Amino acid sequence: IVQRPTALAIDSWRDNIIITCPGSGRIIVLDRKFKVVRKIRHQEMIAPQGVAFLQEHDEIYVTDKWKHCIFVFNHKGELVYRMCNKGYGESELCSPEGIAFHPERSVLYIADTGNNRIQILEKDGTYLDSIGPKNKSTKNTVKFRKTSSSVSQLNQPTDVAVTITRVVVADSGHHKVKIFNHDGQILQSIGGIGTAKGLFRSPEVLKIDNKGYIIVGDAGNGRVQIFSPEGKFLRILGVKKTQGYKFAWISGLLVTNNYDILVSDSKNNFVHLF
């Protein structure tokens, strides 16, 4: 059913699971028995990557990594509109991946991976702000927040999760998870490159559950790591090989209201439930 399954999201109106599959250029919608409800495809969409569901408007937002844009579909799979284009300026994207909405507002956060930043947009694509470094390629086009510390800089951020008080970023190129407030100030940096507990090799995806726990898809180490809301390491799921499966590349995470954890593996073409 799934070819290179990547991001996961919940249709909160129907309790369906939404999966992006860049291997087939499709979005697959499953019910809770993992039966296919709908396959969404559009002739212009090449590599659907990140996905987020906007409950207020009953819409599915999907980043396309190779089209450098965002497609918006209704729950029936019909295209509502497409927004953003390739570039380095405001509301422009370069190889975007993860995407998330603010929990209380229709404000969109995009891991603008190729531009080393998180862009913050209105739901229609209107630019609001960015979290990320100022560099030569963007200094004349993007108004970044002022920051005095390189610890806040991002290198190939691949995913973002948002709470009322925090913006949590998978800073994959630095092998860290970074936590910002909504003023763009760095609050905490977790991890660093390595294989020990609490360290990462290319943390690809992350989610925050309803209690504030941070769940990280540590793709290069083939495992999921769980941290407390304060950033303390707690436990590991899926170390190398468990019950006959082995994660090759963790490409998506989803935490349900029942605290089940779904993990997609784009290289093994499966979604596993913990």
pLDDT of residue 132: 85
CATH class belonging to 192-274: mainly beta
Give the tens place of pLDDT for each residue, 22-79.
999 999 999 988 899 999 999 999 999 999 999 999 999 999 999 999 999 999 999 9
Position 252 pLDDT exceeds 60: yes
Q: Three-state SS for 165? A: coil
Position 152 pLDDT exceeds 80: no
**Of 50-59, 168-177, 215-224, 234-243, minimum mean pLDDT range:** 234-243
pLDDT of residue 120: 98
pLDDT of residue 140: 38
Residue ranges of domains in the chain: 192-274
Give the tens place of pLDDT for each residue, 209-224.
999 999 999 999 999 9
Long-range contacts formed by 224-233: CB under 8 A, 24+ apart: 224/250, 224/253, 224/261, 224/263, 224/274, 225/197, 225/198, 225/200, 227/177, 227/190, 227/198, 231/179, 231/188, 231/190, 233/197, 233/198
Percentage of the chain exceeding pLDDT 90: 83
Position 145 pLDDT exceeds 50: no
Position 1 pLDDT exceeds 70: no
pLDDT of residue 148: 38
> Are the C-beta atoms of 108 and 122 separated by less than 8 Å?
yes
Residue 51, burial from CB neighbour count under 10 angstroms (0-12, 13-18, 19+) = buried
- pTM for this structure? 0.91
Give the tens place of pLDDT for each residue, 116-132.
999 999 999 999 999 98
> Are the C-beta atoms of 49 and 63 separated by less than 8 Å?
yes
Average pLDDT, the chain: 91
* Non-local CB neighbours of 222 within 8 Å, separated by 6+ positions: 238, 239, 240, 246, 247, 248, 249, 250
